Structure 1
Amino acid sequence: MLTYGDDTVWTPAEDRYETMPYRRVGESGLKLPAISLGLWHNFGDDKPVAGMRATLRRAFDLGITHFDLANNYGPPAGSAELNVGRILREDFARHREELVISSKAGWQMWPGPYGGVGGSRKYLVESLDQSLQRMGLDHVDIFYHHRPDPDTPLEETMRALDHIVRSGRATYVGVSSYGADLTLEAQRIMRELGTPLLIHQPSYSMLNRWIEEPVDAADGKNLLAALTECGMGSIAFSPLAQGMLTDKYLDGVPEGSRAAAGSSLNPDWLTEETLDRVRTLNSMAGERGQTLAQMAIAWVQRPQETGQVTSALVGASSARQIEDSARAVKHLDFTQDEVRRIDELVTDAGINIWGAATASKHA
């Protein structure tokens, strides 16, 4: 039996498409796996390549065909695309057509006024060219504007995305962290240009429910309803609320955790009230025969009154961790009583570090 992470010739599992559900993205013909692999924290130069290779191989064996990147993933920025590009060449060259590779741009990437936190045509096009060079690809399957830019006219950003598709650099385009009103306007522009937006990537979890909140500027629609109107799919990132919806913090803040380091998880969010609710959720997960993380991944994909999340985007630091996440697809259904109990127990806990407040404001 092949040990994941060794350097021998690897042959993917023949049964890799037998257990993973695949869903159509909005009104498009593209399908994504119910679980996609995000490469934010665990594919920089501070991690061993052998572990990255093992994780990607195991994910593909489990039917996870979507690998999600961004220009600034690392550390340092850009290193995740370089490392994944090497593994794609060495392990996945014969399987490129079976993969959906995505990347994004919108955060700081290089020095000077043109290199980040933007949505200008110059920044987006040049950033994607650099991403393609790092990964050794001639195109990505999905390219996102990573976040709204209030200093760039929305039409310029959308025209850049339209150009990116027409130039062959990306097959589809999408947006991330846009509010409901901005999403509706962005899709209106893209439809006029002839290149509709495919997908939205919002943060979403049981503790971060901003996409369910009505927006006055969108005629009272929430983001889910806006996506349905736009014919777009969605992929939820951070379904585990930066690790809060796992067993990691049930007994406090362990050394070496994100909360202890004060990085992407603010320790102030770990109030005793919130942790008590997380412990109750953990008990509910046990009743369902799942870990808390598996239930959290399943929860973001439950049917909504106004649409459905296409895929849950999860991170993984090892082959074993992606195996654990993939087991969520064995029990994706929730009873009405379970949904009611969860809704009564947890609402939005204000932990959206990406800030929906700026996502609905744009020049």
Structure 2
Amino acid sequence: MPVRRAGNTGFQLPAISFGMWHSFGEQANYADARDVILSAFDAGIFSFDLAANYGPGSYAAESLFGQVFARELKPYRDELVISSKAGYHMWPGPYGQMSSRKTLMASLDRSLQAMGLDYVDIFYSHRFDPDTNPEETAVALNDLVRQGKTLYVGISNYTAEQSLAMIKIFKELHTPFVVDQVSYNLLNQSAAADGLFDRLRENNAGVVAYGPLAEGLLTDKYLDGIPADVDIHWSNQSLLDGQDGRQRMVTKLRALNEVAKSRGQKLADMALAWLLHDPVVTSVITGASRPEHLKENIQAVQQLAFDDEQLAKIQQILQA
């Protein structure tokens, strides 16, 4: 498993991180969760991405991870990167979401309790709060570092302009800001087009990409058609818009699949590898409910190189 650095910071992540957004809620089976988490660690994935609202059920995924950590992974704490986030709905009431000082501090305390940790390695503001001054959010994150509750800070789902405003404050405070986590995949390159990646390069920070397979679109599952009831994350919903949007997407997927086959890869493997061909992408978050699914994703890091012709062909397909 390749290890990649965020800019020129000391923060390093495996090329693939394990995300616990799906399949790790209150109804999850402990034995299954244990097997896939330990399979990830054994494969060189030492980064586990969580959030207060991952579940379903507030702090549910974190509680489940905490059980596995306490029984299996605690001796390896210094080799693990464990992250949490706050910002989406966590509990009823005005402080149960967004990024005020009170919300961020209360949520991290709950996360630490749920996971049985003294600190997390990185804590994110999960989304931009339009009603709270960015300085309040940035100062709160900085104070959590000073309190020893997180080693680094990050932001997630922020635009380039919103990120730059936060970075300016982080620099003034000497806050160890290292990564911006965004939805990013072959089909949805809006974060890069927004200029976000350029701003992060300029400020020696990295990108953590989530949704790398666009909820399964970038697999061989939909090469024969996309059903009307396919559930797409909000950040990717526009991909299927317009007249004949689903059929046009199938045409693109089939063409991309041909490029993948020419590389000796599956479409999903190529989609993950493509994300990592840009050095600003520090890690790609994938999830899995079973170890065998995880193994399929890990194959992508065995072939990360693209030649100019392949990159040009991919962009030609996407722009058609």
Shared fold (TM-score greater than 0.5)? yes
Corresponding residue for residue 177 of structure 1: 157
Return 5+ residue gaps in structure 1 as ranges.
1-19, 215-221, 349-363
Q: CA deviation at 1:291?
A: 1.1
Classify 1:40/1:34 alpha carbon distance in 2 versus 1 (closer, same or farther; 3 Å).
Answer: same
CA deviations on 1:293-334 (whole Å, 9 max, x unpaired) are 11111111113xxx5211111111110111110110110011
Where do 1:167-316 residues align within 5 Å? 167-214=147-194, 222-253=195-226, 260=229, 262=231, 264=233, 268=240, 271-303=246-278, 308-316=280-288
Q: CA deviation at 1:253?
A: 4.1
Q: Which amino acid aligns with 2:186?
A: M
Corresponding residue for residue 80 of structure 1: 61
Q: 2:313 aligns with which of 341, 344, 348?
A: 341
Corresponding residue for residue 96 of structure 2: 115
Aligned mates of 2:306, 2:67 — CA distance in 1: 40
Corresponding residue for residue 159 of structure 1: 139
Whether contact under 8 Å (1:184, 1:226) holds in the other structure is yes
Aligned mates of 1:161, 1:344 — CA distance in 2: 41
Q: Which amino acid aligns with 1:149?
A: D
Aligned mates of 1:291, 1:327 — CA distance in 2: 9
Q: CA deviation at 1:289?
A: 1.2
Aligned mates of 1:330, 1:133 — CA distance in 2: 37
Structure with higher helix content? 2
Aligned mates of 2:315, 2:231 — CA distance in 1: 29
Whether contact under 8 Å (1:141, 1:171) holds in the other structure is yes
SS in 2 for 1:271: helix
Whether contact under 8 Å (2:121, 2:152) holds in the other structure is yes
Whether contact under 8 Å (1:51, 1:318) holds in the other structure is yes
CA deviations on 1:158-213 (whole Å, 9 max, x unpaired) are 00000110001100000011111221121110111121411110111111001222
Return 5+ residue gaps in structure 2 as ranges.
none
Please give the TM-score of this superposition, normalised by the length of structure 1: 0.83
Q: 1:332 aligns with which of 295, 298, 304?
A: 304
Q: Which amino acid aligns with 1:193?
A: L
SS in 2 for 1:141: strand
Whether contact under 8 Å (1:235, 1:313) holds in the other structure is yes
SS in 2 for 1:333: coil
Aligned mates of 2:180, 2:232 — CA distance in 1: 25
Aligned mates of 2:124, 2:134 — CA distance in 1: 14
CA deviations on 1:36-93 (whole Å, 9 max, x unpaired) are 1111012112321111111111111110010000000001221100000000011101
Aligned mates of 1:203, 1:181 — CA distance in 2: 16
Classify 1:263/1:292 alpha carbon distance in 2 versus 1 (closer, same or farther; 3 Å).
Answer: closer
Corresponding residue for residue 351 of structure 1: none
Corresponding residue for residue 47 of structure 1: 28
Task: Say yes or no: does 1:134 pair with 2:124.
Answer: no
Aligned mates of 2:10, 2:128 — CA distance in 1: 26
Corresponding residue for residue 217 of structure 1: none
Whether contact under 8 Å (2:184, 2:209) holds in the other structure is yes
Further displaced range: 26-35 or 245-254: 245-254
SS in 1 for 2:276: coil
Whether contact under 8 Å (1:187, 1:197) holds in the other structure is yes
Aligned mates of 1:105, 1:184 — CA distance in 2: 20
Q: Which amino acid aligns with 1:137?
A: L
Corresponding residue for residue 40 of structure 2: 59
Aligned length: 314
Q: Which amino acid aligns with 2:222?
A: Y
Whether contact under 8 Å (1:206, 1:347) holds in the other structure is no
Question: Sequence identity, in percent?
Answer: 46
Whether contact under 8 Å (2:126, 2:157) holds in the other structure is yes
Aligned mates of 1:261, 1:130 — CA distance in 2: 34
Q: CA deviation at 1:347?
A: 4.4
Corresponding residue for residue 354 of structure 1: none
Q: 1:29 aligns with which of 10, 30, 41?
A: 10
Q: CA deviation at 1:260?
A: 3.0
Whether contact under 8 Å (1:65, 1:99) holds in the other structure is yes
Corresponding residue for residue 5 of structure 1: none
SS in 1 for 2:268: helix
Please give the TM-score of this superposition, normalised by the length of structure 2: 0.94
Q: 1:91 aligns with which of 61, 67, 72?
A: 72
Over aligned residue pairs, what C-alpha RMSD do you find? Answer: 1.7
Q: CA deviation at 1:147?
A: 0.7
SS in 2 for 1:148: coil
CA deviations on 1:5-41 (whole Å, 9 max, x unpaired) are xxxxxxxxxxxxxxx1101111211211011111101
